[in-house]
Copies of this chain bind each other. A is one copy, B any other.
Amino acid sequence: MVNETQHTCSASSSSRSDGSSSGSESSKDNSHCSTPVLDADRHERLREKMRRRQDAGDKWFSLEFFPPRTANAAVNLISRFDRMGAGGPLFIDVTWHPAGDPGSDKETSSMIIANTAVNYCGLETILHMTCCNQTKDDITGHLQKAKRLGLKNIMALRGDPAGEEWEEEVDGFNYAVDLVKHIRNEFDDYFDVCVAGYPKGHPEAESYEADLRHLKEKVFAGADFIITQLFFRPETFLKFMKDCQAIGITCPIIPGIFPIQGYHSLRQLVKLSKLEVPQEIKDVIEPIKDNDAAIRNYGVELAVSMCRELLDSGMVHGLHFYTLNREVATTEVLKRLGIWKEDPRRPLPWAVSAHPKRRVEDVRPIFWASRPKSYIYRTQEWDDFPNGRWGNSSSPAFGELKDYYLFYLKSKSPREELLKMWGEELTGEESVFEVFTCYITGEPNRNGYKVTCMPWNDDPLATETNLLKDQLEKVNRRGILTINSQPNINGKPSTDPIVGWGPSGGYVFQKAYLEFFTSSEIVTALLKVLKKYELRVNYHIVNVKGQNITNAPDLQPNAVTWGIFPGREIIQPTVVDPVSFLSWKDEAFALWIEQWAKLYEEESPSRMIIQYIHDNYYLVNLVDNDFPLENCLWQVVEDTFELLN
């Protein structure tokens, strides 16, 4: 803003001088290395974000999901979080299923799904919680656990009573308002609290007016905003909103949008919610009830037109979507409304976790670039996160890769698919080279299958890596098995669609990076070649036993991605850290065995080939420090092959 923020500051800066540090650990937060606040979002709580968007006139959306039934469904839901997260929801919410052990550590529980969304997918998340038929201790336990996991928002609900005929419990949780009060009593202002509103009145309420009064009680007990039950006509919501305002409810009220996606899901929902479907909708749907596509198209149309009316009213700033864990209809509605972010600006080159403890984090080692969830998992016990500098030999140990959380590190693809991609039967190291090459080129393998993932990369090649495709193909064919790379960038605008990140008006830079597995013969030649390049190329070479060759000065980290922005300190989000490389090495080598070798029978030739590579190959990383010049790493590899011939 070029506007004059006129403030008269007292002459000396003594006002901010209390930040003296005493204890060794906590002093971190008060150190000089405070975050540059690359994006305000990371530092605001949900209600602040909502207010800021509203003040700025930005329209937004949010997405509701329910917890999956099986572990495989959970893996798929997490991928969906990533894909739908890319569209830029203000938040997502995860419903609470009392019957499904919702507060447990099971990978399908509401608690753990919400945890994953926040910590691993970086999504602002609301966890639903119901209170009826539960003790205060149970509820407090759930809330404490949510807090511990980094969840900051709760949707406080009553939930369904156990029996048909429901009776109030004395001193128990009888209504959502009891839960709201409990949260505020026990956790003060820690959580943002959301409550449900019923545009037609709650089906069990004495009257519409009585229900409005209940809603007001919930808000006055400390709720920050309201999400409504679904409705079928925009005027239903707009009337409800005016009625709320008329009785003094001033907090944000977010309409719940339900794009009709199928005949059966609609019927089921109507039954559960005791809502009535308007005749005009029934008239359209009944004749096409067996045509799923037609119903979905109609649902999308209907939702788009209703959302437009709501937004045009000027009273609605955000829309909440009941996704039913499906992607297509909601995404379509959002795209048609123009509020799906087609090109979300990345605040940093990697996916930022939304855990409050990690809000200052702005440096990571490059090694986990394709496995950000594994990185977050392995650093979850850290008390503080690198900010500004990575530092040397200073980071706490990385977590082991041994417990049930490995779930997050599993491939999305089933064994049969992996075998088709990576080979039902391997005939030698060369057939492994071929798999790597097919992954790079996108061409089908000898059996006609495309290789769309690798043990080290669960997704197809990144757009940025595509810049290096030809070179990568060449070297993989010859046994330089690349798993991570980036081109050098000498000052591209931060808005560049491929390599840009951070706020606009800045410039981003990279040093060329190449990481690969290769045989000891190639390593021997490579080391001779590297001598010629001296300090221009930093290298680190290690085998599974930890034999370790590097020219990193004093094992210091090397910044390989950085950005310069208006009015800010320099951000260097990615480093090649020789110390962390040894933790990554364990993971990178383990993936050969855990993900690839174990596809085959024990003692089978295929398995032994992978085992041989695991036991004998080296993991190599190379950095070209001369980022303004042409990337010399391809020449290094070329020279190496020449020396071998």
In the bound complex, CA of A575 to CA of B1 (Å): 20
In the bound complex, CA of A379 to CA of B300 (Å): 64
Asked if B530 and A2 make an inter-chain contact with CB atoms under 8 angstroms apart, the answer reads: yes
Which residues of the other chain, B, contact A10 by a CB distance below 8 angstroms? 546
**For chain A residues 7-39, which have a beta carbon within 8 Å of chain B?**
7-14, 16-17, 19-22, 24, 27-28, 30-34, 36-37
Chain B, Cβ-Cβ closest to A396: B17
Q: A interface, by DSSP: helix, strand, loop or mixed?
A: loop
Chain B, Cβ-Cβ closest to A531: B2
**One of A259-267, A281-289, A344-352, A386-394 contacting the partner:** A386-394
Which residues of the other chain, B, contact A13 by a CB distance below 8 angstroms? 395, 397-398, 579-580, 582-583
Chain B, Cβ-Cβ closest to A628: B491
Which residues of the other chain, B, contact A268 by a CB distance below 8 angstroms? none
User: A278: CB under 8 A from chain B?
Assistant: no
Asked if B567 and A505 make an inter-chain contact with CB atoms under 8 angstroms apart, the answer reads: no
Query: What's the nearest-Cβ distance from chain B to residue A506, in Å?
Result: 8
In the bound complex, CA of A22 to CA of B538 (Å): 33
In the bound complex, CA of A559 to CA of B36 (Å): 11
Chain B, Cβ-Cβ closest to A583: B13
In the bound complex, CA of A545 to CA of B383 (Å): 43
Candidate in A2, A27, A400 with the most chain B CB atoms within 10 angstroms: A2
In the bound complex, CA of A14 to CA of B583 (Å): 9
In the bound complex, CA of A538 to CA of B22 (Å): 33
Candidate in A389, A551, A552, A627 with the most chain B CB atoms within 10 angstroms: A389
Asked if A566 and B556 make an inter-chain contact with CB atoms under 8 angstroms apart, the answer reads: no
Query: What's the nearest-Cβ distance from chain B to residue A523, in Å?
Result: 11
Copies in the complex: 2
Query: What's the nearest-Cβ distance from chain B to residue A234, in Å?
Result: 39
In the bound complex, CA of A575 to CA of B567 (Å): 10
Asked if B553 and A392 make an inter-chain contact with CB atoms under 8 angstroms apart, the answer reads: no
**For chain A residues 472-523, which have a beta carbon within 8 Å of chain B?**
490-491, 505-507, 509
**For chain A residues 595-624, which have a beta carbon within 8 Å of chain B?**
623
Asked if B582 and A566 make an inter-chain contact with CB atoms under 8 angstroms apart, the answer reads: no
Query: What's the nearest-Cβ distance from chain B to residue A38, in Å?
Result: 10
Chain B, Cβ-Cβ closest to A43: B554
Asked if A538 and B567 make an inter-chain contact with CB atoms under 8 angstroms apart, the answer reads: yes
Query: What's the nearest-Cβ distance from chain B to residue A509, in Å?
Result: 7
User: A572: CB under 8 A from chain B?
Assistant: yes
Chain B, Cβ-Cβ closest to A7: B548
Query: What's the nearest-Cβ distance from chain B to residue A402, in Å?
Result: 12
Which residues of the other chain, B, contact A415 by a CB distance below 8 angstroms? none
In the bound complex, CA of A390 to CA of B384 (Å): 18
Query: What's the nearest-Cβ distance from chain B to residue A625, in Å?
Result: 4
Chain B, Cβ-Cβ closest to A572: B570
User: A419: CB under 8 A from chain B?
Assistant: no
Query: What's the nearest-Cβ distance from chain B to residue A482, in Å?
Result: 21
**For chain A residues 350-402, which have a beta carbon within 8 Å of chain B?**
363, 383-398, 400
Q: Would you list 14 pairs from A and B whose C-beta atoms are within 8 A, ordered by A residue?
A: A1-B551, A4-B527, A4-B549, A5-B551, A12-B400, A13-B582, A14-B397, A17-B396, A21-B383, A24-B30, A556-B569, A569-B572, A569-B575, A570-B570
8 other A-B residue contacts (CB within 8 Å) besides A12-B398, A31-B33: A2-B533, A10-B546, A30-B394, A32-B391, A34-B391, A37-B553, A389-B389, A558-B568
